Amino acid sequence: MNKIKALKEERGRLLGELSTLQGTLEKESRSMADTEKTRLTEIEARLSAIKDEVETLERLQNLAAQAAGSSASKSEEVEKGKMADAYSFRKAMQMATSGRKEGVEGEMSAVAAAEFQRSGVSVAAHSLLIPSEVFTRSMTATGGTSGSEGGVNIQTSVGGIIDVLMPKMVLNGLGVQKLSGLVGNLDMPTASTLPAAGWNTENGTATEKSPAFGKVTFSPKRLAAFIAVSNQLMLQSSNSIDTYVREFLLNAMALELEKAAIKGGGSNEPVGILGNSSINIAYAGNAASNSTNANGAAAVWADVVNLDKLVDVANAQGNAYITNPKVKAALQLTARQSSGVEGNFILPSATNELNGYPFAWSTNVPSNLSKGNSSTLSALIYGDFTKMAIASWGGMELTVDPYSGAKGGLTNVILNSYLDVNLLQPTAFAAIKDIVA
């Protein structure tokens, strides 16, 4: 709803004004003037009113959506599921090439177009759009009518494609929040100061404790995956292309999204955990400062405890450690104490737990970080991963380019999605970025 968007934009402007006021007071080292106090009261009242109005409008929007959903008959829901099962990625690619939009694929494109319109994301008019549920449906080699979901191939001797070994994906299992179906940019106000009170005499004047506000902003960033498909394969009646292309594009997107969520900061990328300047930082080898070990150091047991301590001091509660396989192996060979019993390693063998918390590892956690003369350093991260959120706008946009690879008999297939990642509370995370492993 445009009204909700306008109210959120107004809230963002007011929060920006509060932030500016706070910065001015800190810079000039003074208390608020009477006019500033009056303005603060006005802003607080307006923010409260906006909050109530947005909540009311969103409730109405949800009720309307529920009413619309409840009016659909059970047979219609079953039919929608059948449409998703009958969806052919090969046909969709052919339609995107020809410009035709018909059949199941054309109907699903119209559904996805409505999703994008609600989200306020502009997509190319000639693209074929795909609702996200099409990509999450289950596909098996023997599913569908006579194996139509992947079991039927051009000839019986055609085998499945042997895919590349993929990095382990870890974030989904750690409670990361998912914000879907967003409309325009999303600002989430954050309070950046603790509640405060003061002790006074019986008739003493209470000291003013003004709260400070900030915001976390989510905005759609285009994530694109690309694959070149043989024209001959597209023309043949093989359903195996559906499975492979679908999984290739989805895996490419999931891989890049997780890599950016852990360490982003590149052009048009989310910043990620390691790139966020507000997370807590410790240094390998139990170093007191970044300069202690010029080129990094091997991990020690104190490093694990230090990460836990930093998050606790920030009044957060971490729920997991993550790192890469190099650090994992090093922790399995490093004793907790140099004079300890042999076998008392930081990470016991055959365990997924570190310091009493879940422990996960993936090559998505970098091992090419730089410090001093070294560019092969690794990271160890600890935090409350429920304080991370992945936002999405609409479904996916399919673009097929039959021209760029024409000389080689190839058609380029591009899948676009619109996503963002942010830390809701950066101080709920702590990291070491200079581990030699």
The 3 state secondary structure assigned to the chain is: CHHHHHHHHHHHHHHHHHHHHHHHHHHHCCCCCHHHHHHHHHHHHHHHHHHHHHHHHHHHHHHHHHHHHHHCCHHHHHHHHHHHHHCCHHHHHHHHHHCCCCHHHHHHHHHHHHHHHHHCCCCCCCCEEECHHHHHCCCCCCCCHHHCCCCCCCCCCCCCCCCCCCCCCCHHHHCCEEECCCCCCEEEEEECCCCCCCCCCCCCCCCCCCCCEEEEEECCEEEEEEEEEEHHHHHCCCCHHHHHHHHHHHHHHHHHHHHHHHCCCCCCCCCCCCCCCCCEEEEHHHECCCCCCCCCECCCHHHHHHHHHHHHHCCCCCCEEEECHHHHHHHHHCECCCCCCCCCECCCCCCCEECCEEEEECCCCCCCEEECCEEEEEEEEEECHHHEEEEECCCEEEEEECCCCHHHCEEEEEEEEEEEEEECCHHHEEEEEEECC
Tens of pLDDT, residue by residue over 394-414, are 888 888 888 888 888 888 888
- Give the CA-trace dihedral at 96, 122, 390, 93, to 10 degrees: 0
| Euclidean distance between the first and the last CA atom of the chain, given in angstroms as a whole number | 52
pLDDT on residue 340: 58
Taking alpha carbons only, the member of 307, 339, 312 closest to residue 323 is 307
pTM over 0.75: no
Taking alpha carbons only, the member of 166, 147, 169 closest to residue 158 is 147
pLDDT on residue 380: 98
pLDDT for residue 339 is more than 80: no
Give the rounded percent of residues in the chain with a pLDDT score beyond 90. Answer: 35
Quick count: other Cβ atoms within 10 Å of Cβ 142? Answer: 11
pLDDT on residue 87: 73
pLDDT band at 325 (very low <50, low <70, confident <90, very high): very high
Whole-number mean pLDDT of the chain? 82
pLDDT on residue 115: 79
Tens of pLDDT, residue by residue over 128-178, are 788 766 655 433 333 334 433 333 333 444 455 666 788 889 998 899 999
Indicate the burial class of 206 (C-beta count within 10 angstroms; 0-12, 13-18, 19 or more): exposed
pLDDT on residue 156: 41
pLDDT on residue 137: 44
pLDDT for residue 56 is more than 50: yes
Domain boundaries defined on the chain: 1-71, 75-138+166-189+212-437
Contact 225, 249 (CB under 8 A): yes
For tokens 């759609």, name the residue. 220
Q: Specify the fold of 1-71.
A: Methane Monooxygenase Hydroxylase; Chain G, domain 1 (1.20.58)
pLDDT band at 358 (very low <50, low <70, confident <90, very high): very high
Task: Please report, as a single letter, which amino acid is at residue 273.
Answer: I
- The token duo for 96 is 């995107």
